Structure 1
Amino acid sequence: MDSFFIGGIIFLCILSVHYRFLTIKGSITAFFTGLFIFLSFGWKGLIILGLFFLTSSLLTKWKKKQKQDGEACEEERYGRTAGQVLANGGVALAAAIFHLFLKDSVWLVVFVSAFAAAMADTWASEIGILSKKQPFHIKEWRKVDKGLSGAVSWLGTFAAIAGAAIIGTSCYYLYQLESVHMIILIIFAGFIGNMADTFLGAWFEQRFYCSVCKKETEAAFHCKTKTVKVYGFSWFTNNIVNFLCTLIGGIIGGGFYLWLIH
């Protein structure tokens, strides 16, 4: 039975490269992430992983042309890289490894809460950008262009809650948790992780200004012209923000779980 699931992980990783959901290195990283999750949390853990990966991949491709900034000069994308896989799944992978050796239920909560945060963040970004209204920037306290870090919308906020709720509800039924309050805890942890992502992006991620179209962007080149940096740190990449999002979500979920059971 174990070989069946491991073979399934390999097959899905190969399929992900074929459909450009993942790069080759991203696929290898995803395989080991899935392997440790399976060894630690069984096939149920793979379902949690699959819910995040499949929905995030499909949402990224959904209405892609409408969401992309056509004036931004970007490298051709061949799927999520190894860095992106670890940024979203690194905390869950660490929880799986710790659970293999320590066998404490708190690591399951950390694992699920981390993915709830990743799911909330992805859904907020990919769905929120389709909002018909301009988002509101939490740092500058004004409406800004869509797609900028630190910008929030009602559509994105509801999408974040829905994404975290799917992970929380799935965990409740898959692992037959004792209390329905665990769903609320996981949703809360996921949403707080998402909000942390928004605040970190608003204060630390780079933003540029295009002198041609007079718009703010996160691209170093826009309208075939080098943009002017407004603020932010070059080392504080989106991968770092996503990793911290899942780390905070995992800590919140695991921390409150330990507090509740004592």
Structure 2
Amino acid sequence: MDNQFIQLIISLLISSFIAISSYRKNSLDVSGAFAGFFVMTVHLSVNYRFGAMLLAFFFTSSKLTKLGEDRKRSVDADFKAGGQRNWIQVFSNSGIATVLVIAFWKLKSSQDICLDSRESYIITSIVGGIIGHYSCSNGDTWSSELGVLSDEQPRLITTFKVVRRGTNGGVTKAGLQAAAAAGAVIGLAFVLPGIFTKSCRNDAFVKQLLVIPLSALAGLTGSLIDSLLGATLQFSGFCSVRNKVVSKPGPTVKRISGLSILDNNAVNVVSILLTSMLTSFACLYIF
């Protein structure tokens, strides 16, 4: 039986199990489960390392979303038990990577690769973009989910003034450290499976380890870009009725920062796109 066909069957089984399980645990709603199934199948069937990065992002983010739910409920106006993501949130956090994965498949089928621009300039660029994508997604999620639980008061990234918890663009030291750690996890998810699936030249193999610090930097950079966009192009205001920070203006809302240009999903997409591009260029330079 063809190896690619076997990989596709395995991908379908794994994706089905995770999508159904995530729906039952309220990590995804119905639309999110279908979107997640599609995205996971594409990643896993093309390259196990792409699947590993996606799953590292999904599982760690889902776990952290459920951490400290009572405290988050008191702060987040859009709080959902379990984090329950819909299809828009799934694609905003994985859509660009899915396009890059399909582009990789068109060029290399399911062949595994070592990052080496001398061997393939385009493929190294594409894979670098995927690494940057999930480093940013994971970094932003870890930063948000752990930063809000920190006892440290957040400061607006543009002015460094102390702001209420839940304010878009508010950062903490704990949140930034979490973003770097989250990026490093994505780097590990890329490097470790490659030890068993791909043999690189000696010099290229050693260089693959640089993906881990690069991913940590991408996670931190992505979180900072997300915060900058959130502080400037996403509205934050305090609602005197709900006693919470909200993302839409209203008669009972006093503006804190930002303009009503981008919503949270749009901020995620833009920050992911920019981080993916930066990481792609960095991979071409390093590898």
Same fold (TM over 0.5): yes
1:73 and 1:221 in contact (8 A); partners too: no
Rounded to whole Å, the distance in 2 between the matches of 1:154 and 1:70 is 19
Say which is worse superposed, 94-103 or 197-206, in terms of deviation: 94-103
1:193 and 1:246 in contact (8 A); partners too: yes
* Consecutive unaligned residues in structure 2, runs of 5 or more: 1-5, 109-122, 196-203
Instruction: Give the Å deviation of 1:219.
Output: 4.7
1:62 aligns with 2:63: no
**Aligned residue for 2:52?**
47
Q: What's the secondary structure of 1:69's corresponding residue?
A: helix
Provide, for residues 39-59 of structure 1, a one-character-per-residue CA deviation record: whole Å limited to 9, x for no partner.
322x33222111110111111
Provide, for residues 5-51 of structure 1, a one-character-per-residue CA deviation record: whole Å limited to 9, x for no partner.
3112012111111111101111111111112112322x332221111
**Taking structure 1 as reference, are residues 70 and 141 closer, same or farther at Cα in structure 2, changes over 3 Å only?**
closer
1:200 aligns with 2:229: yes
1:149 and 1:205 in contact (8 A); partners too: yes
**Taking structure 1 as reference, are residues 237 and 77 closer, same or farther at Cα in structure 2, changes over 3 Å only?**
farther
Say which is worse superposed, 78-87 or 98-107, in terms of deviation: 98-107
Corresponding residue to 1:24 among 19, 24, 30: 30
Provide, for residues 159-184 of structure 1, a one-character-per-residue CA deviation record: whole Å limited to 9, x for no partner.
11111111112212222462122222
**Taking structure 1 as reference, are residues 127 and 78 closer, same or farther at Cα in structure 2, changes over 3 Å only?**
closer
Instruction: Give the Å deviation of 1:255.
Output: 1.0
**Aligned residue for 2:279?**
253
1:20 and 1:79 in contact (8 A); partners too: yes
Amino acid aligned to 1:9? S
Q: How high is the TM-score relative to the length of structure 2?
A: 0.81
Corresponding residue to 1:236 among 252, 259, 262: 262
Rounded to whole Å, the distance in 2 between the matches of 1:205 and 1:131 is 23
**Aligned residue for 1:88?**
93
Amino acid aligned to 2:12? I
Q: What's the secondary structure of 1:126's corresponding residue?
A: helix
Rounded to whole Å, the distance in 1 between the matches of 2:271 and 2:247 is 22
Q: What's the secondary structure of 1:208's corresponding residue?
A: strand
Rounded to whole Å, the distance in 2 between the matches of 1:69 and 1:170 is 34
1:111 aligns with 2:130: yes
1:9 aligns with 2:15: yes
1:221 and 1:227 in contact (8 A); partners too: yes
Rounded to whole Å, the distance in 2 between the matches of 1:154 and 1:240 is 25
Rounded to whole Å, the distance in 1 between the matches of 2:85 and 2:183 is 21
Provide, for residues 120-146 of structure 1, a one-character-per-residue CA deviation record: whole Å limited to 9, x for no partner.
110000001111121111123211111
Amino acid aligned to 1:217? V
1:137 and 1:143 in contact (8 A); partners too: yes
Corresponding residue to 2:213 among 177, 184, 201: 184
Instruction: Give the Å deviation of 1:72.
Output: 4.1
Rounded to whole Å, the distance in 2 between the matches of 1:192 and 1:73 is 25
1:72 and 1:221 in contact (8 A); partners too: no
**Aligned residue for 1:120?**
139
Rounded to whole Å, the distance in 2 between the matches of 1:75 and 1:153 is 23
Corresponding residue to 1:155 among 153, 174, 184: 174
Provide, for residues 183-209 of structure 1, a one-character-per-residue CA deviation record: whole Å limited to 9, x for no partner.
222222222111100100011111123
**Taking structure 1 as reference, are residues 15 and 74 closer, same or farther at Cα in structure 2, changes over 3 Å only?**
closer
**Aligned residue for 2:118?**
none
2:238 and 2:245 in contact (8 A); partners too: yes
- Counting aligned pairs with the same residue, the percent is 27
